[in-house]
Structure 1
Amino acid sequence: MVRSYSKYEQTDAFGVVASATSNIAWSLESVAQPGSSRPAGAGRAYSAANEEVLCWDVKKGELLSRWRDSSCTEEVTVICQSAADPNVFAVGYADGSIRVWDSKTATVVISFNGHKSAVTTLVFDQSGVRLASGARDTDIVIWDLISEVGLFKLRGHKGQITGLHFLHPAAAAGEDGVDSTLPDADTEQAFLLSTSKDALIKIWDVGSQHCIETHVAQTNGECWALGVSPDGSGCMTAGNDGELKVWAIDLQGLRNAASTVGETSEQRYLHERGTLYRQGKDRTLGIVFHNRSDYIAVHGSEKAVELWRIRTEGEVQRSLARKRKRKREKAKHETNGDAHLQEGTAEEKINIADAEIGEVIVPYVTVRTAGKVRSVSWVRIRGSKKLQLLVGTSNNLIDVYEIPQKGKMKTEADPEYTRTVSVELAGHRNDVRALALSSDDRMLASASSGGLKIWNIRTQSCLRTLECGYALCCAFLPGDKIVVVGTKDGDIELFDIATSSLLDKIPAHEGAIWTLQVHPDGKSVATGSADKSVKFWTFEIVQEEIPGTKRTTPRLKLSQSRILKVNDDVLSIQFSPDSRLLAVSTLDNTVKVFFADSLKLFLNLYGHKLPVLNMSISSDSKLIATCSADKNVRIWGLDFGDCHRALFGHQDSIMQIAFIPHPVEAEEKHIFFSASKDRFIKTWDGDKFEQIQKLKGHHGEIWAMAMSRTGDFVATASHDKSIRIWSRTDEPIFLEEERERELEEMYETTLATSLEDEDPLDAESAEAVSASKQTASTLTAGERIQEALDLGLVDLPLVRAWEKQKKATPNLAPPQRNPVYLALGNISAERHVLNTLSKIPAAQLHDALLVLPFSSLPALFTFITIWVQRQWNATLTCRVLFFMLKTHQKQIVASRELKGALEGMRDDLRAMLAGMKDLIGFNVAAMRYVGERVDEARLVKLEDVEEDEEEKQEGRSGMKRGFVDIA
């Protein structure tokens, strides 16, 4: 009989506040306090947590929602919020896919897949209808959120896309009072500003799909950041060595560009205004303009955010006047008089357009952060008079800093910033190096450099946070009230969970304590160190005096009982469950097995080519499994010390290995788990020497692993800052099926890679190409369409012949149709083909249709003719028809058969579209009528009124005036 095994799946992931792979986004809270139009709290922060997006309440530090698509295991690389609808977020992933999320329901609205590599930047247009994405594959793709398709792909950059921004000259004209009517998203002339690692900045005409202007953005190699002013009149680019370049954008020229399309024009719309230099000389990674104030946040990869301020017109004039005055005084001393010249200079009107950029944009304050800055976002809370900055750092932290504005300060000294709120308790600042489970599997201890945390396994909430040294190992002592930690400095630290206090700190070893093991009898603990010794410590309860009183209190102490000296550094120790043996692995690649009572050598285990990093003894004390940096797992017998089997387990160093401590079933005694730096966890059968399952989920090296008492779940911790729980399910798995599934995954990966390499011949020279990407899912969808067409071609004449004969013979039995139609409720062939097409996601439909060969077009057009005649699903019918006409235009023109089919459906198609047009027109007119009635009733939201008043108070015109004059 074929043996089945229990399947393990990831059930929980926690410990991440903000991943360093993505930016963070800030948003106002959508829920207000009762009776108030102003939202409470400090807003919400949206951060990436590996493959998930987390929504945090910034003030309370609480996790509000978690967005995860079960079909995607890749890391989140960029998050972007729509300005038109604050509940819509676009999220880019490392595999090049994009998902549009609804924050209210935490569900995916649309999925796009058009890039070959990680998405690096996303931006919505003003209407929220179009989305532009840039990636490491150097392509820019424009997506239509209404049609759910990729419109086109722009190619011109030779490096990773680092910045995108839509320019809307018509909307800017409306703000300036030139034209109050804003055009529709479809008819509006939009432009796209892009920067890339190739040091170029480009302006693209979205309507004509070509680049109209290119400049070298940075003089020192690469352009890493783009920031555009809120009014779109200027922008700033940044690269290496702290260099910032300021550009003026000619919006008036872009407005007129629509009329000059097709004409040869030498007009430039982007003008360099000057160069600024940051204090830090590291690579600049982000530039963020404040929406309503004259401030710019600039950050690199170091622990600082530099704030710059745009001076008002009056300040610039005063600065120029002072400069001119000093110049005159200097000239007066040098020349001793040309009075006429001096008078003329004094009477000249100061024009701020002549000012250097350094006179207009000046450094304001440098905010020092707790970790290396990954991303910043301005916090805009209504009613607050201070600037607030949300900062996400690479050490798993989100902070909010408060900075006073220029006009609000009483003194002229540098402004003093404060860190007001922080989201930090939900994760470690550094990598977790050790995990330990309590005896009842309810609590999990995780230790890192500087921090020990106790977690509730069921709720994933952090119960305690304690400060410790650089922890390398940890364990719960019997009773689960005390945690013992071994540190890199050679200290043993004892922590009381109930009081959150450090009970004792013992300088136990002269070198790092790499391993720590509680004796199976629960009365002692053994530690192994880099000082070439294993020390044994017994637990003692001593009565200690309470300072200032004569009373005493019982306290746990560790007292050294024995010491075992070895020839090299000790990396791991392990007691056998029957307390008979002690295994010690050392730096010389060997494992020595001693008798636990007498410490006499019993066995020497040779075979590994690199040091053994961890080991585990089975619950029946018959097998020992060792894992090493040589990527091998070895299974040894503890009776004679013979190596049963050496298994090439992973592609990198294997860090942890563990048998199930107390298996419920006898068959699970020799099942063990291994975790490696290659990011995988594997389960093995120690009797058959076969891999059972490979668990994928972590995005970094796995440092620690803890096994539950009966093997119900496994906890692992990784360099990606996450702690993941892998739970046993009721689903059985079989070795043969698992190997077949792994082979299929490998083939699909190879297929996807080969499809990505197949670009059209003219794609290299073309500036704009179709935004298509073939994947395994689109190929499958195309095959389903082809299958439905083949079945339909057989069934259609059969049913038509039967219907014709039935008129003459009413009691004629129905024909023998394909079982597929009977299984689907005896539907017609044309309905089956339409249903097949409608089940394909809109974003994948075009790619699926490209799978069909040209020879299938007559069959498809046959069914389209039927759908048009019956007016079935007009939107989908037209979309399929027009896409196929566009794709195969030349062949269709040359085909008599297809031309005849098109002429046959032309009149019916016109009638169907005319009916749809009338219906939509009627609905639009009704909506306009309702809108007019609402305007007449003056139903205005309180939030809108408050926002308008705030805009007036903050004096947005100052910022606008200053930057427009720069342009």
Structure 2
Amino acid sequence: MHSRGSKKLKLLVGTDSNVIDVYEVPQKSKLKSDEEPEPTRTFSVELAGHRNDIRALALSSDDRMLASASSGKGPAGGLKIWNIKTRNCLRTLECGKALCAAFLPGDKIVVVGTKEGDIELYDIAASSLLDKIPAHEGAIWTLQVHPDGKSLITGSADKSVKFWNFDIVQEEIPGTKRTMPRLKLVQSRILKVSDDVLSVEFSPDSRLLAVATLDNTVKVFFVDSLKLFLNLYGHKLPVLSMSISSDSKLIATCSADKNVRIWGLDFGDCHKALFGHQDSIMQVGFIPHPVEQDEKHVLFSASKDKLLKSWDADKFEQIQKLKGHHGEIWAMAIARTGDFVVTASHDKSIRVWAKTDEPLFLEEERERDLEELYESTLATSLDDDPTDPSSEAAAASKQTSSTLTAGERIQEALDLALEDHHLMAAYILQKQKSPSIAPPQRNPLFLALNNISAERHVLSVLSSIPASALHDALLVLPFSTLPALFTFLSLFLKKGWNTTLTCRVLYFMLKTHQRQLVASKDLKVRLASMRDVLRMRLTEGKDEVGFNVAAVRFLSERVDEKGIVRIEDVEREEAEKREGRRKRGFVDIA
């Protein structure tokens, strides 16, 4: 742009390091002897934002201050303290390559976990580094303050979780006899695990501790004894973040496999797997202290696909999709009562998403999503070649909409079939007493399927699910459906229907819910009754396979014998041929 009354050109430049500069370039004179004009920088906005990607966000207990820490060192500092209301930067401090951060009780000290394995304590008021503790031998990926505010835990790539107590010591001021209190972190306990620790999470009631490791699993321990309580299996890639609801009943996990899974903390069963984003999900979080009852299980997720989404963890449906970032979202922080959510992105911006009083209609959100999906797939669908056979093929391991709904189909079939099974069992008993009794009115679905039996309907639903998607579908089933499922598996074994599929489903459910099954007396009795029938069916299958193998071996031996030629047989055949030729030579045709 040209400044009025001046012969200088002004340029406003935004750089990759998140700095805005204004340059003045004087116009070139018409005389050839003059040198090239030199630009000069007149203004620069460089102190407010981060120079590197923001990897960690933390809110103070009163939601007035926000701490943001970046992953690189620089003259502008890696740790910044912001005023949420005014959006102003209050403090800028240099720190290590930060991966996680938190406010300590009192909101005067910020603790930072670094890639070098150090814990750094910063005094906000004095803008100084209080202490630097070499805590771990690997990167500190996660840390959290205990709900009672008296300790914190850190999880690292060195396969350990360490517990640190807050201790106040009196230190002498050099040159004087006076002392001043100073905060110290004292290691109290250590928990060794089998793989790198990526995330840790306390339950709000301080009873449980969840630890996510690099082997795609989440282990839940008792805080007091550090004994293993639950193992959560299901994710296909490592779990990057976790959150436990305010009532300590649900735990949500997000992973690099683009899924959010919601689990029950009573038995560790997977309530639902939500295909939430188009890329790795970096952060997930419940509202810490919801005011409204219906917000108790509201969930937020932030992903590398640049989107922030909110979910209802009871109804398992998406509430809202929020767009705004121009890069991958690395970190997220949720206000105490859910009034706002803060996200930090690869575009080096921090965005505050505030809750409004406008009513939200889920039907309109669904219509908007469907319109976006239609517009995004319209161009590709027009370009697709319908004669290309590869267009109909999909990768065996890729989750599709059929994979996600297969679990609901099994659940629906079990509910309908169990009701019909009880109805027909009662009818058979009554028919033995009075043979002329009319049959009961069954569900129209069974009549539409040519009056199929309840157990045959369940088996057809299980058989229709592809083998690659069966385990994912079974993981969706809650523990409460196991009695119904075991009822029909027992019927399949008694009637000898598809023993291979029955065994596969039975063994997978036993492996998934082993701990809960051991604690349930009713299910243990059912399993004991199924054991004898299962052993008999497996023995029959083994005998059948053995008989078939022996028959094939017998046939192969006969084929081999026919392929062997003996010398005596060859000589005899040649002699017969010679005699035959002579005889034919002397025959008088006339």
Q: What is the root-mean-square deviation in Å for CA atoms of aligned residues?
A: 3.1
User: Partners of 2:335 and 2:368 in 1: how far apart?
Assistant: 28
Counterpart position of 2:67: 445
1:605 to 2:232 alignment: yes
Counterpart position of 2:52: 430
**How big is each residue's C-alpha offset from its partner over 1:781-824, in whole Å with a ceiling of 9 and x where there is no partner?**
xxxxxxxxxxxxxxxxxxxxxxxxxxxxxxxxxxxxxxxxxxxx
| Cα pair 2:53 2:346 within 8 Å, conserved | yes
- Structure 1 segment 243-258 matched on structure 2, within 5 A: none
User: Partners of 1:455 and 1:667 in 2: how far apart?
Assistant: 31
1:312 to 2:29 alignment: no
| Cα pair 1:627 1:634 within 8 Å, conserved | yes
Counterpart position of 1:631: 258
1:573 to 2:200 alignment: yes
Secondary structure class of the residue paired with 2:356: strand
Q: What is the CA-CA distance between 1:48 and the residue it aligns to?
A: 5.3
1:291 to 2:257 alignment: no
User: Partners of 1:576 and 1:721 in 2: how far apart?
Assistant: 31
Secondary structure class of the residue paired with 1:733: coil
| Cα pair 1:44 1:57 within 8 Å, conserved | no
Secondary structure class of the residue paired with 2:278: coil
Secondary structure class of the residue paired with 2:158: coil
Secondary structure class of the residue paired with 1:493: strand
Q: What is the CA-CA distance between 1:707 and the residue it aligns to?
A: 0.3
Q: What is the CA-CA distance between 1:423 and the residue it aligns to?
A: 2.4
Counterpart position of 2:128: 501
1:518 to 145, 168, 175: 145
Q: What is the CA-CA distance between 1:289 and the residue it aligns to?
A: 7.5
2:112 to 485, 491, 499: 485
Q: What is the CA-CA distance between 1:55 and the residue it aligns to?
A: 12
Secondary structure class of the residue paired with 2:314: coil
- Structure 1 segment 459-470 matched on structure 2, within 5 A: 459-470=86-97
User: Partners of 2:9 and 2:181 in 1: how far apart?
Assistant: 48
1:558 to 2:185 alignment: yes
1:593 to 2:220 alignment: yes
Secondary structure class of the residue paired with 1:688: coil
**How big is each residue's C-alpha offset from its partner over 1:25-51, in whole Å with a ceiling of 9 and x where there is no partner?**
x765x8xxxxxx99xxx998635599x
Counterpart position of 1:618: 245
Paired AA for residue 443 in structure 1: M
**How big is each residue's C-alpha offset from its partner over 1:323-374, in whole Å with a ceiling of 9 and x where there is no partner?**
xxxxxxxxxxxxxxxxxxxxxxxxxxxxxxxxxxxxx99xxxxxxxxxxxxx
**How big is each residue's C-alpha offset from its partner over 1:513-553, in whole Å with a ceiling of 9 and x where there is no partner?**
00000000000010000000000111111111222222211
Paired AA for residue 497 in structure 1: I
User: Partners of 1:462 and 1:43 in 2: how far apart?
Assistant: 32
2:40 to 379, 385, 389: 389
- Structure 1 segment 866-877 matched on structure 2, within 5 A: none
User: Partners of 2:83 and 2:2 in 1: how far apart?
Assistant: 30
User: Partners of 2:333 and 2:108 in 1: how far apart?
Assistant: 18
Q: Structure 1 residues 43, 576: closer, same or farther in 2, change over 3 A? A: farther
Q: Structure 1 residues 486, 755: closer, same or farther in 2, change over 3 A? A: same
Counterpart position of 1:641: 268
**How big is each residue's C-alpha offset from its partner over 1:844-869, in whole Å with a ceiling of 9 and x where there is no partner?**
xxxxxxxxxxxxxxxxxxxxxxxxxx
Counterpart position of 2:331: 704
Q: What is the CA-CA distance between 1:753 and the residue it aligns to?
A: 9.5
Q: Which of 1 and 2 has higher RCO (CA within 8 Å, sep 6+)?
A: 1
- Structure 1 segment 474-873 matched on structure 2, within 5 A: 474-747=101-374
Q: What is the CA-CA distance between 1:481 and the residue it aligns to?
A: 0.6
Q: Structure 1 residues 433, 55: closer, same or farther in 2, change over 3 A? A: closer
Query: Structure 1: any 5+ residue segments left out of the alignment?
Result: 1-25, 31-36, 60-287, 295-309, 314-359, 362-377, 379-386, 391-399, 401-420, 757-967
Q: Structure 1 residues 458, 46: closer, same or farther in 2, change over 3 A? A: farther
Q: What is the CA-CA distance between 1:56 and the residue it aligns to?
A: 6.9
User: Partners of 2:19 and 2:118 in 1: how far apart?
Assistant: 39
Q: Structure 1 residues 671, 543: closer, same or farther in 2, change over 3 A? A: same
2:12 to 13, 26, 46: 46
- The answer to which structure has the higher helix fraction is 2
| Cα pair 1:43 1:58 within 8 Å, conserved | no
User: Partners of 2:295 and 2:128 in 1: how far apart?
Assistant: 39
Paired AA for residue 508 in structure 1: A
Q: What is the CA-CA distance between 1:564 and the residue it aligns to?
A: 0.6
**How big is each residue's C-alpha offset from its partner over 1:678-697, in whole Å with a ceiling of 9 and x where there is no partner?**
11111111011111111111
User: Partners of 2:254 and 2:190 in 1: how far apart?
Assistant: 25
Q: Structure 1 residues 609, 746: closer, same or farther in 2, change over 3 A? A: closer
| Cα pair 1:45 1:56 within 8 Å, conserved | no
| Cα pair 2:264 2:270 within 8 Å, conserved | yes
| Cα pair 2:283 2:301 within 8 Å, conserved | yes
| Cα pair 1:512 1:531 within 8 Å, conserved | yes
**How big is each residue's C-alpha offset from its partner over 1:210-243, in whole Å with a ceiling of 9 and x where there is no partner?**
xxxxxxxxxxxxxxxxxxxxxxxxxxxxxxxxxx
| Cα pair 1:516 1:528 within 8 Å, conserved | yes
Secondary structure class of the residue paired with 1:731: coil
Q: What is the CA-CA distance between 1:598 and the residue it aligns to?
A: 1.2
Paired AA for residue 506 in structure 1: I
Q: What is the CA-CA distance between 1:290 and the residue it aligns to?
A: 5.0
Q: What TM-score do the two structures reach when normalised by structure 2? A: 0.60
Count of aligned pairs between the two proteins: 377
Q: Structure 1 residues 49, 666: closer, same or farther in 2, change over 3 A? A: farther
